[in-house]
């Protein structure tokens, strides 16, 4: 069960029209491709995707699940939006646990032994079948995937305190004085009968926030259920903010960074656009960057991630930037430390973003979907451009 | 449902393609980086609203089958109709050589399939033609003109005239003369794409079988003069028929011209191909790529100039690739130099090797070879 209904409000202009899981990532992908591909690579063939906020693009993207081999006659991918129930009882999803609760009848249809709960906002590769093996071996009611984080940062996470057998005895949400550095990754495996029991009890409690981290996990711990921590090591990144999204995209530029997109044993699948190969012009200079089909590169591209159908005209310079599908950077423009959302346009001679100054007021610049930055205009660092910017006569 | 049915001829063996067609059918030769030749015929049909397509194959079609699969990448995996692959099932032509001697022989070989076609009209096309054809418009013209057969043709002259048919058109578009494989070309070059009714097609197949005429050019085109209303549909865009290695190299390199690409890859009529879920292409810190067409999934750390790279190609540090066509998963290791070479799938060129062909005779390295 993949929770994909969140708005991702900290991605600001990037999630105005799409849910966070549908935000483009890593040249060819959208964020949701990572958990979905992990499912398929782990041998999971029945996936529910719970949607709520701005679902149109996400629904269209997932479609019948064919790119992930999830177009199946038995199982496959199911989009699960909230719905009106008998006697007008239906509501929006109130929290992560409530979202699953509202789909109990979906789960009952399949009557599984175990249920894996995922969120659609993390970039990582993980074999859930190994986590399931751990869950079965420890005979746990719930297994939570954890990873070690630096002690200094532990207070930003949900922290699991475990005994010598990695059995969880305490869970602390963003503790001021953390006693362990095992952070929850928001990936849970539940034994289905237990999950069902606790979801029904949680729904009956009117004071509950209906959230896994805040309610379900503490309730299970209080009741003395066997709760096991599954240790994960490897690349894992939350891409919930502009900075972390930019960072994680930059990580895709070097396999040494811990994430190898080119690994044939763990492919990440995506719905691809039918575009011809990209073309590099006679004066193109592309270094330490990734470029996708349909692009036309005639200028200079350094340390950047270019999605499909991006044009960088002659004399334009793109540095440390992320250009989402259909972006056009006109002749002589400079784009640096910037994220340009789909079909954005940067006018000739414009200068968008700037290199880090070390100051407080510096940050990544964002140009929202379909926004045109006029020729010759100057867009400063950390700006969030959501409307067309008028050009200036040069 | 569109009233047009598609038949793609993909049975021909072509010795002039040397190593490229050694282990595959001409139609499954990689072209333009991420495509196979047959992608153009399939996409042209689908873009014209054709929902049922028969693909006639004979030998060495394993690679072609692997590529087209169920046809789902072209939206041709359907409950009714869709893509049907037609191997020579129960073919007992009069001639026992085992090969189809021509297109009429091939059509006779799939006769029961032809009888069951649900549409009233059929478009016959060739799987070795790279062009973005407006088949819907040609079909419209065919219906309005009342022609018996509409032949798609181009005023731009194509390769070897001895392997090509030519039409002379009058001002109204009617065919006034037909030249079959002439020594000297005259008129418009045939794109070997014809629209006709199902009834006429069956009639012609019967007639040719009865007279033992295996060739479409002989049995239909030449025999049609004075008996059938033959019209041309002139196509001005880019078209390339691939018939030899030199053709292949030259026609591939033409793709580096932006006008050729604009004619071949149109936003409204996309060319679709098998999806392989490749990541984007990565350029290393010292990479250089100029005037080249590069597919997804490549890792480029060396220099690539005037070249076309298929998916998953690797060019290591210090390696130099000029005027080359590198097919899927070719690996050019450090400091190797290649000029005017075509490397087939999975070729590996070891560090420091130097390989050079010439523009008129490019060096071809066969599939899976290690240099």
Q: Do A67 and B275 touch (CB under 8 A)?
A: yes
Q: Which residues of B touch A323 (CB under 8 A)?
A: none
Number of Cβ within 10 Å of residue B16's Cβ equals 16
Q: Which residues pair with A363 in a beta bridge?
A: none
pLDDT of amino acid B329:
96
The more confident residue out of B20 and B95 is B20
Q: Do A276 and B293 touch (CB under 8 A)?
A: yes
Cβ within 8 Å of residue B85, ≥6 positions away:
B55, B57, B61, B65, B68
Closest Cβ opposite residue B280 in set A267, A285, A291: A291
Tell the residue number behind the tokens 């910037």, with chain if given. Answer: A338
Query: What backbone torsions phi and psi does residue B29 show, to the nearest 5 degrees?
Result: -70, 135
Rounded distance between C-alpha atoms, residue A124 and residue A29, angstroms: 13
Per cent of chain B over pLDDT 70 is 97
Average pLDDT of every residue of chain A? 93
DSSP letter at A85 equals -
Closest CA to A128 of A46, A240, A227, A24: A46
Rounded distance between C-alpha atoms, residue A384 and residue B4, angstroms: 51
Query: What backbone torsions phi and psi does residue B201 show, to the nearest 5 degrees?
Result: -60, -50
- What are A13's two structure tokens? 């202009």
What's the distance, CA A270 to chain centroid? 14
- What are B369's two structure tokens? 């070879």
Q: Which residues of A touch B281 (CB under 8 A)?
A: 278, 290-292
Residue A301 above 80 pLDDT?
yes
Closest Cβ opposite residue B280 in set A27, A284, A285: A27
Helix (H, G, I), strand (E, B) or coil at A160: strand
pLDDT of amino acid B91:
55
pLDDT of amino acid B93:
54
Number of Cβ within 10 Å of residue B106's Cβ equals 26
Closest CA to A10 of A361, A259, A314, A246: A246
Sorting pLDDT into bands at 50, 70 and 90, what band is B185?
Answer: confident
Helix (H, G, I), strand (E, B) or coil at B170: coil
- As a whole number, mean pLDDT of residues B137-161 equals 90
SS3 content of chain B, % helix, strand, coil (to 5): 25, 30, 45
Rounded distance between C-alpha atoms, residue A76 and residue A84, angstroms: 24
Per cent of chain B over pLDDT 90 is 74
Contact A253, A303 (CB under 8 A): yes
Residue B157 above 80 pLDDT?
no
- As a whole number, mean pLDDT of residues A357-384 equals 93
The pLDDT tens digits of the residues spanning A29-49 come to 999 999 999 999 999 999 999
What's the distance, CA B270 to chain centroid? 15
Tell the residue number behind the tokens 């954890």, with chain if given. Answer: A146
Sorting pLDDT into bands at 50, 70 and 90, what band is B159?
Answer: low
Q: Where are the beta strands (DSSP E) in A163-306?
A: 168-173, 182-191, 227-231, 236-238, 278-280, 285-287, 289-291, 296-297, 300-302, 305-306
Whether chain B has a CB inside 8 Å of the CB on A257: the answer is no
Rounded distance between C-alpha atoms, residue A60 and residue A71, angstroms: 14
Rounded distance between C-alpha atoms, residue A253 and residue A291, angstroms: 10
Q: Which is it for strands A305-306 and A345-346: parallel, antiparallel or unpaired?
A: unpaired
Residue A275 above 60 pLDDT?
yes
Helix (H, G, I), strand (E, B) or coil at B217: helix
Rounded distance between C-alpha atoms, residue A332 and residue A285, angstroms: 14
Q: Do A280 and B295 touch (CB under 8 A)?
A: no
Sorting pLDDT into bands at 50, 70 and 90, what band is B95?
Answer: low
Q: What angle do CA A381, A383, A387 make, to 5 degrees?
A: 140
Q: Do A278 and B294 touch (CB under 8 A)?
A: yes
pLDDT of amino acid A394:
59
Query: What backbone torsions phi and psi does residue A355 show, to the nearest 5 degrees?
Result: -65, 155
pLDDT of amino acid B245:
87
Task: Assign residue B266 a region (left: φ > 0; alpha: ψ between -120 and 50; beta: otherwise).
Answer: beta
For A51-65, give the DSSP string: --SS-HHHHHHHTTS
Whether chain B has a CB inside 8 Å of the CB on A261: the answer is yes
pLDDT of amino acid B239:
93
Cβ within 8 Å of residue B15, ≥6 positions away:
B21
The pLDDT tens digits of the residues spanning A220-245 come to 999 999 999 999 999 999 998 999 99
Per cent of chain A over pLDDT 70 is 99
For B89-123, give the DSSP string: TT---SS-SSS--SHHHHHHHTHHHHHT--SSEEE
Distance from CA of A196 to the nearest CA of B (A): 37
Q: Which residues of B touch A28 (CB under 8 A)?
A: 278-280, 296
CA distances for A272 relative to A71, A259, A269, A306, B280, angstroms: 16, 21, 9, 14, 11
Q: Do B287 and A27 touch (CB under 8 A)?
A: no
Q: Which residues of B touch A27 (CB under 8 A)?
A: 279-280
DSSP letter at B370 equals B
Rounded distance between C-alpha atoms, residue B142 and residue B174, angstroms: 11
- What are B365's two structure tokens? 């390295």
The pLDDT tens digits of the residues spanning A76-121 come to 999 999 988 887 777 899 999 999 999 999 999 999 999 999 998 8
Q: Which residues pair with B320 in a beta bridge?
A: B303, B337
The more confident residue out of B168 and B162 is B168
The pLDDT tens digits of the residues spanning B7-16 come to 999 988 777 8
Rounded distance between C-alpha atoms, residue B243 and residue B361, angstroms: 14
Sorting pLDDT into bands at 50, 70 and 90, what band is B162?
Answer: confident
For A214-239, give the DSSP string: IIIHHHHHHTT--EEEEE--S-EEE-
pLDDT of amino acid B1:
53
Identify from A253, A259, A277, A285 which residue to disrupt to test chain B contact, counting B C-beta atoms within 10 A and taking the largest count.
A277
User: What sign for the dihedral angle of Cα B197, B199, B204, B205?
Assistant: positive
User: What sign for the dihedral angle of Cα B190, B192, B194, B200?
Assistant: positive
The pLDDT tens digits of the residues spanning B187-236 come to 999 999 999 999 999 999 999 999 999 999 999 999 988 889 999 999 99
Rounded distance between C-alpha atoms, residue A218 and residue B189, angstroms: 77
Residue B94 above 70 pLDDT?
no
Distance from CA of B12 to the nearest CA of A (A): 27
Distance from CA of A291 to the nearest CA of B (A): 5
User: What sign for the dihedral angle of Cα A332, A333, A337, A341?
Assistant: negative
pLDDT of amino acid B89:
67
> How many helices (H) and strands (E) are present in chain A, helices listed first?
8, 31
Closest Cβ opposite residue B285 in set A278, A288, A306: A288
- What are B268's two structure tokens? 């409204």
Treating both helix axes as pointing N-terminal to C-terminal, what angle do B38-47 and B135-145 enclose, rounded to 10 degrees? 60
Q: Where are the beta strands (DSSP E) in B260-347?
A: 281-283, 288-290, 292-294, 299-300, 303-305, 308-309, 314-315, 320-322, 325-326, 331-332, 337-339, 341-343
Enclosing H/E stretch for A328: strand A328-329
List the alpha helices (DSSP H) in B314-356: none
Contact B42, B53 (CB under 8 A): yes
The pLDDT tens digits of the residues spanning A341-350 come to 999 999 999 9
Sorting pLDDT into bands at 50, 70 and 90, what band is B90?
Answer: low
pTM, two decimal places: 0.92
Query: What backbone torsions phi and psi does residue B265 show, to the nearest 5 degrees?
Result: -115, 90
Contact A314, A297 (CB under 8 A): no
Closest residue in A to B43 (Cα) is A274
The pLDDT tens digits of the residues spanning B245-294 come to 888 999 999 999 999 999 999 989 999 999 888 999 999 999 999 999 99
Tell the residue number behind the tokens 């990479």, with chain if given. Answer: B287
């Amino acid at each position: 069960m993949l929770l994909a209904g969140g708005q991702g409000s900290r991605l600001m202009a990037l999630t105005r029209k799409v849910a966070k899981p549908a935000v483009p990532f890593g040249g060819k992908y959208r964020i949701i491709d990572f958990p979905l591909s992990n499912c398929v690579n782990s041998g999971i063939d029945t996936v529910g995707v719970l949607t709520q906020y701005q679902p149109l693009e996400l629904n269209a993207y997932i479609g019948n699940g064919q790119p992930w081999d999830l177009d199946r006659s038995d199982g496959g991918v199911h989009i699960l939006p909230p719905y009106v129930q008998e006697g007008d009882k239906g509501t929006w999803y109130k929290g992560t646990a409530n979202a699953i609760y509202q789909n109990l009848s979906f789960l009952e249809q399949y009557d599984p032994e175990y249920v894996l709960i995922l969120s659609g906002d993390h970039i990582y590769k993980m074999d859930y079948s190994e986590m399931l093996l751990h869950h079965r071996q420890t005979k746990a009611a719930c297994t939570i995937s954890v990873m070690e984080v630096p002690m200094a940062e532990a207070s930003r996470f949900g922290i699991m305190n475990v005994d010598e057998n990695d059995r969880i005895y305490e869970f602390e949400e963003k503790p001021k004085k953390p006693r362990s550095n095992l952070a929850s990754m928001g990936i849970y495996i539940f034994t289905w009968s237990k999950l069902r029991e606790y979801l029904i009890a949680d729904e009956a409690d009117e004071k509950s926030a209906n959230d896994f981290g805040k309610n379900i996990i503490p309730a299970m711990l209080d009741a003395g259920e066997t709760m096991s921590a599954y240790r994960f090591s490897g690349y894992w990144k939350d891409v919930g903010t502009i900075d972390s999204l930019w960072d994680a995209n930059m990580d895709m530029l070097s396999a040494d960074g811990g994430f190898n997109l080119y690994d044939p044993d763990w492919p990440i699948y995506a719905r691809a656009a039918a575009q011809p190969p990209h073309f590099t012009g006679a004066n193109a200079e592309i270094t330490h960057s990734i470029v996708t089909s349909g692009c036309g590169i005639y200028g200079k591209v350094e340390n950047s991630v270019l999605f499909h159908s991006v044009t960088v005209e002659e004399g334009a310079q793109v540095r440390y930037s992320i250009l989402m599908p259909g972006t056009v950077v006109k002749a002589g423009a400079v784009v640096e430390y910037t994220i340009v959302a789909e079909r954005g346009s940067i006018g000739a001679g414009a200068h968008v973003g700037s290199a880090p100054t070390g100051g407080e007021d510096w940050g990544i610049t964002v140009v929202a979907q379909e926004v045109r930055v006029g020729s010759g205009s100057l867009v400063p660092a950390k700006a969030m451009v959501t409307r067309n910017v008028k050009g200036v006569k040069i | 449902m569109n009233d047009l049915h598609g038949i793609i001829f993909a049975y021909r063996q072509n010795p002039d393609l040397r190593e490229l067609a050694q282990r595959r059918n001409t139609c499954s030769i990689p072209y333009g980086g991420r495509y196979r030749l047959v992608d153009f015929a399939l996409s042209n049909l689908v873009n014209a609203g054709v929902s049922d397509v028969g693909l006639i194959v004979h030998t060495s079609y394993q690679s072609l089958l692997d590529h087209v699969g169920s046809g789902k990448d072209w939206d041709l995996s359907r409950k009714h109709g869709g893509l049907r692959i037609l191997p020579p099932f129960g073919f007992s032509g009069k001639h026992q050589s085992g090969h189809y001697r021509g297109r009429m022989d091939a059509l006779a070989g799939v006769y029961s399939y032809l009888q069951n076609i649900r549409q009233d009209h059929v478009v016959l096309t060739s799987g070795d033609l790279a062009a973005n054809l407006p088949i819907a418009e040609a079909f419209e013209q065919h219906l309005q003109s009342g022609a018996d057969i509409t032949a798609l043709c181009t005023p731009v002259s194509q390769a070897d005239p001895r392997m090509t048919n030519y039409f002379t058109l009058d001002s109204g578009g009617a065919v006034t003369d037909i030249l079959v494989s002439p020594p000297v070309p005259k008129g418009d070059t045939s794109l070997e794409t014809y629209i006709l009714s199902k009834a006429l097609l069956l009639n012609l197949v019967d007639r040719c079988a009865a007279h033992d005429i295996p060739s479409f050019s002989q049995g239909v085109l030449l025999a049609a003069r004075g008996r059938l209303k033959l019209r041309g549909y002139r196509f001005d865009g880019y078209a390339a028929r691939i018939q030899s290695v030199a053709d292949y190299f030259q026609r591939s390199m033409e793709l580096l011209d932006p006008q050729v690409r604009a004619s071949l890859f149109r936003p409204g009529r996309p060319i679709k191909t098998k999806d392989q879920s490749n990541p984007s292409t990565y350029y290393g810190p010292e990479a250089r790529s100029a005037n080249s067409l590069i597919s997804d999934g490549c890792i480029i750390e060396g220099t690539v100039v005037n070249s076309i790279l298929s998916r998953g190609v690797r060019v290591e540090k210090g390696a130099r690739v000029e005027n080359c066509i590198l097919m899927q998963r070719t690996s050019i290791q450090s400091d190797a130099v290649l000029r005017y070479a075509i490397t087939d799938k999975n070729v590996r060129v070891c560090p420091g090797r130097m390989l050079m062909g010439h523009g008129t005779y490019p060096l071809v390295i066969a599939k899976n070879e290690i240099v």
